A = this chain, B = another copy of it.
Amino acid sequence: MSKDVKTPMLDDLEKGAWPSFVKEIKTAAKKSNTAHDLLGILERSYRDKVTHWKHGGIVGVLGYGGGVIGRYCDLPEEFPGVAHFHTVRINPPSGFYYTSKAMKELCDIWDKYGSGLTNLHGSTGDMVWLGTQTDKLEPIFAEITAKGWDLGGSGSCLRTPSSCVGKSRCEFSNIDTMDICHTLTHKFQDELHRPAFPYKFKIKVSGCANDCTAAVARADMSIIGTWRDNIRIDQAEVKNYASKMNIAEEIVGMCPTKCMSFDGGALKINDKDCNRCMHCINQMPKALRPGKEQGATIMLGGKAPIVTGALMSWVIVPFMKLEAPYDNLEDLIRKLWEWWDEHGKNRERIGELVDRMGMRSMLESTGLPPVPQMVKQPRTNPYVFWAPGEVQ
């Protein structure tokens, strides 16, 4: 792209209070021809109202089946800098904590081989390096692994697991989300890098029902912390809150199970009826805390709409104790994969498979018992199957 091509539309997006991605591309364009031509081709898309990226692209590093998204533009003559515009997915540390030192090292590598543009983070949670060429992939891989980093997932494999901030900073967390995420990532390196599943599989870990990593919507396996005993109450702090908020209306009145009462004195919770929704704890964190018998609800099946419609994960294990090294969880996941592998069609997410085959097949093959917590309600239709042995 010749240096003086105009980008009037993009320029307009430099204005305004919200941080501007155009400014970022321009910054990178100062050093990188790739970033520079990205500006040009993007402006073209703004004009044409269509993408100028061609379909697919299959590139990668040796020994891995994923981690790089190949991309080519449809105007390589005009914008040679983005003729190749591959994306590299780097597996971030659990919880997205970084040191400036590590970050800067990564920036140096990226400036050396790529556009200098990145997404922090991609929707799955990867660090997404936007824009490099096929011949740079092996060198990038060599340099990042030398610094202790690895690629994330792409393709029909385990995708990069992710978690909320969990016990590192959040008092609500019932499980060590970051450690679970980290441990699983390491247990499943082969499944992450060498696609062999019917389709992608995502794992996300949230420490409580607030689900700050949106696991229920975006992960085939959603691990959500919860507790079994009683909410811990500090009545003195309840009093303090009472002076700041209308506990009867905002807390008691909005408790979905109507299991609380407050007469101005002590706050009472009928924990037997509480469903651990988190609302009261969220609003009065100084006064209320999750119980001490902590663990997780394991849910399965979350995904976007392709093909049979979006799903949110549903309960398959109401409560599981989760303590390092989480072998119980690993075991369950492996069993699930085995079943999915056995029955799944090409591009069939595990949730869709359960939906197609029925929960029973999955439960029998994983050894999980059927429990009412798996369903909103028992079936209404009378179309009930009986296994051969069940009818004499």
Chain A residue total in the interface (Cβ 8 A): 7
A267 contacts chain B at the CB level, 8 A cutoff: no
**Considering the complex, which residues of chain A in the window 299-343 have a beta carbon less than 8 Å from any beta carbon of chain B?**
305, 309-310
A2 contacts chain B at the CB level, 8 A cutoff: no
Cα–Cα distance between A192 and B271 once the two chains are bound (Å):
58
A97 contacts chain B at the CB level, 8 A cutoff: no
Closest to A380 in B: B310
| Chain B residues whose CB sits within 8 angstroms of the CB of A381 once the complex forms | 305, 309-310
A382 contacts chain B at the CB level, 8 A cutoff: yes
A386 contacts chain B at the CB level, 8 A cutoff: no
A383 contacts chain B at the CB level, 8 A cutoff: yes
| Chain B residues whose CB sits within 8 angstroms of the CB of A310 once the complex forms | 380-381
Q: Measured between C-beta atoms, what is the minimum distance from A65 to chain B in Å?
A: 30
**Considering the complex, which residues of chain A in the window 333-392 have a beta carbon less than 8 Å from any beta carbon of chain B?**
380-383
| Chain B residues whose CB sits within 8 angstroms of the CB of A383 once the complex forms | 305, 309
Cα–Cα distance between A305 and B381 once the two chains are bound (Å):
7
Q: Measured between C-beta atoms, what is the minimum distance from A198 to chain B in Å?
A: 22
Q: Measured between C-beta atoms, what is the minimum distance from A42 to chain B in Å?
A: 25
| Chain B residues whose CB sits within 8 angstroms of the CB of A305 once the complex forms | 381-383
| Chain B residues whose CB sits within 8 angstroms of the CB of A382 once the complex forms | 305
Cα–Cα distance between A310 and B382 once the two chains are bound (Å):
9
7 A-B residue pairs with Cβ-Cβ distance under 8 Å, sorted by A, are: A305-B381, A305-B382, A305-B383, A309-B381, A309-B383, A310-B380, A310-B381
